[in-house]
Amino acid sequence: MRTVLSLLLNIIWLLTAGWALFLAYVLAGILACLFIVTIPFGLASFRIAGFVIWPFGREVVDTGRGGAMGTLGNVIWFVIAGWWLALGHVGTAIAQAVTIIGLPLAWANIKLIPVTCFPFGKEVVNSSSARARMLPTAR
């Protein structure tokens, strides 16, 4: 049942916001890849683009591997592109929230803003993998 619901939500998402957000992230990634120094920013943008086109059934988790360079990268990313992309999420969330059926999509859009603003040190995983990571290990 969960996969059917995820599929349905992903299709509605794709039609209402996914394609536009995907194109915004791809454009940001292409612009970032024009300069050799900013290729990691482009790769982060492409990674998020793959997530925003089909988000339901997947989650973003903190890897804990960001470190000082990840923090610096997140600050630079936020100033250059993150807040612009976050505004795109807010705009599409408002448009989705106008209808009752769009409310869960609008909420998902708002939940994407943290990874939009600070992508370094994050990883996209299946929802089942994310839940498994949160379970305490048996000793």
| pLDDT tens digits, one per residue of 67-118 | 888 899 999 999 988 899 999 999 999 998 998 888 888 998 998 999 999 9
Nearest to 60 by CA among 5, 124, 8: 124
pLDDT attached to residue 130 = 56
pLDDT attached to residue 42 = 92
Whole-structure pTM value: 0.81
| Contact status, residue 122 vs residue 61, Cβ threshold 8 Å | yes
| pLDDT tens digits, one per residue of 35-47 | 888 899 999 999 9
Task: Give the chain's mean pLDDT.
Answer: 86
pLDDT above 50 for 6: yes
pLDDT attached to residue 132 = 57
**Amino acid letter for position 117:** C
Write out the two tokens for 44: 């982060």
Q: What angle do CA 73, 76, 77 make, to 5 degrees?
A: 80
pLDDT attached to residue 133 = 58
CA distance to 2, 11, 50, 61, per residue, from 128 (Å)? 11, 20, 18, 12
